[in-house]
Structure 1
Amino acid sequence: MALEFENETRILRGCFFDVQNEVGRGRSEEAYHHGCKLWFEERGLPVASKPPHPLLIRGQEAHRLFVAAAGDGRESKPNCEGSLSECRRR
């Protein structure tokens, strides 16, 4: 029985394994996030990184929520500017 989204699943698995192999194990979630974002961009695949989420009250936007990467409201920024290998913790 074939997967319904077999090609998409193959692409995602490839991304996850490539990023973990290059970035290494035990890194911060943010390092993997940036690594996956770079992986998709390097291949010309569309990616939306942490889009804002509108908080709606009675159908009107009251506030925009942004996902915090560090889990405590702070956003950590690992050194991931040029390539996946730069997403390593220093």
Structure 2
Amino acid sequence: MIAACPAEGYAAGCEAIAAMDQRDDLARIAAPTLVISGADDPATPPEHGERIRDGIRDSRLVVVPNAAHLANVEQPDVVAQLILDHVTD
């Protein structure tokens, strides 16, 4: 899917979110939240997940080993189980 995206479209999407900063809105999230981060993600490293977790009450962070930016693709069984456990708790 990513490879099929036109380069201009992908670049425009990146440009649209490059300066996005929604950290001030995190405290408004009231639902229990699971933050998933790939251990090897260079774009949004685990430290970013820590900031998100720290900004949301009742949240937790799980860092998935051997995964980068597409942890759900790189470690689908691990991520699926994390989500399943989260929604059934």
Q: State TM-score, norm by structure 2.
A: 0.28
The structure with the larger Rg is 1
Q: State TM-score, norm by structure 1.
A: 0.28
